[in-house]
Structure 1
């Protein structure tokens, strides 16, 4: 009877020269850029750059007089700002495709039991990023601008510049999109044995402090946006702890599962 531990490594023979890795990386980057360009073209047709600007401007327009609009101070701002928004929207739309290209690049170095959960992680990570951005658009910005406008004196006419507004909200989109990846990071840390679930539980109090420090650094200096980022991070940290046990067990190699059995 053959020894179950005497198994040929399923990755044996898959090594590639360094140049081939570079070629593969180049191809995946090209595919990713092509996907973003296609999404940009679709968004340029509908709703168009103007439609995207109107959509992301809704939170601040709700706190401005009906006859007032955002202003464009720079000479080239009316051209470059819609283009920047179109590029960001195209990247967000193509995010699952871009993450798939990343997975396709590293997949040859993964075992079969690890590949099974790569696609679900991509899907979950994309959904969490979209949830973070939606949370910013439909909740955080409205509360933040309502809070800020409340401090505007009656003698001051607040007319925000569209370029500074877009830059601010895009940074918030990025911050919340990354912050909502906390469960994925926690589960991967446990899966690869970097930390244990018990360590994560004991670190809970420190993570709350870390979450508020990160929120204070990456968000505007208002308490609304800082709390709106820190609290979800803490909740997602707990979700990651809950899911880490299942994920670590579900992605075990067959020999690991048999040893524990």
Structure 2
């Protein structure tokens, strides 16, 4: 049958050898990307600081320079390592995902591979959309919120300025990127669960009110304790939940159409004698 698994049964040792080969390719790609990113770590960090510069302009503080500090001798060095690891993960992800798919695909049916591949492509695209939203909009908004708390040092006031530590700024922007990236995986996860038969579109609709509460709770946990970033994460999560409901309906309609077509093909055509008797 065309839907059968195509590979032949393999001994456990051969699966382990193949797994080792896939891991070596994935780790090798990550290591090479890490070396390249570490060489350009300062330039990459400067790119991550651009949202902070935009927030300074939004706050009307164009007279001041954008400054970050580090208070421990090794702090900026480890910050560059984190930047390199973050960049290496993004660059090497296509290779890592390809190796995972090549290891898993031989054990899947053709229809399962055809269903799984679009999700493998959609997942990084949605993650990048969430990361872009953080980089171009939410990080400048969050930093603008914190910059608004500065004190100019006029008469009777102490001059208070925001001077973020390089490690803390990197942790902030990375936590926002990962939070939004994970939330943007909601349509992919829900679609896979619907295809597997664990949930339905009706279930998602019934649990909508709980999902809204969970969205705000998760936003409060994953983002800094400011209303801008928390609301900014919760609202897209709710929107993505509605998209998940719509996607689930489409999957169920496709499944129903395929089931009806299969039933029509399996019907036995009546013979002329049976038609005359009828």
**Gapped runs of 5+ residues in structure 1?**
1-6
1:206-228 deviations in whole A, cap 9, x for unaligned? 11111111101111001111111
What corresponds to 1:32 in structure 2?
26
Aligned counterpart for 2:151 among listed residues 153, 172, 177: 153
CA displacement at 1:8 relative to structure 2: 9.6
What corresponds to 1:101 in structure 2?
99
Aligned counterpart for 2:262 among listed residues 248, 258, 261: 258
CA displacement at 1:151 relative to structure 2: 2.2
Asked whether the 8 Å contact 1:72–1:163 carries over to 2, the reply is yes
Distance 2:23 2:264 in 1: 41
C-alpha spacing 1:118/1:8, structure 2 compared with 1 (3 Å): closer
**Gapped runs of 5+ residues in structure 2?**
153-158, 266-278
Asked whether the 8 Å contact 1:53–1:85 carries over to 2, the reply is yes
C-alpha spacing 1:106/1:159, structure 2 compared with 1 (3 Å): same
Higher radius of gyration, 1 or 2: 2
Aligned counterpart for 1:113 among listed residues 99, 111, 114: 111
1:225 aligns with 2:229: yes
* SS in structure 2 of the partner of residue 72 of structure 1: coil
* SS in structure 1 of the partner of residue 249 of structure 2: helix
* SS in structure 1 of the partner of residue 160 of structure 2: coil
The farther-off stretch of 242-251 and 177-186 is 242-251
Distance 2:151 2:28 in 1: 48
What TM-score, normalized by structure 2, do the two folds share? 0.81
What corresponds to 1:180 in structure 2?
184
What corresponds to 1:61 in structure 2?
53
Distance 1:40 1:233 in 2: 31
Aligned residues: 252
Distance 1:251 1:28 in 2: 34
1:16-42 deviations in whole A, cap 9, x for unaligned? 444433333322222112222333345
What TM-score, normalized by structure 1, do the two folds share? 0.86
CA displacement at 1:251 relative to structure 2: 7.6
* SS in structure 2 of the partner of residue 117 of structure 1: helix
CA displacement at 1:244 relative to structure 2: 2.5
C-alpha spacing 1:97/1:198, structure 2 compared with 1 (3 Å): same
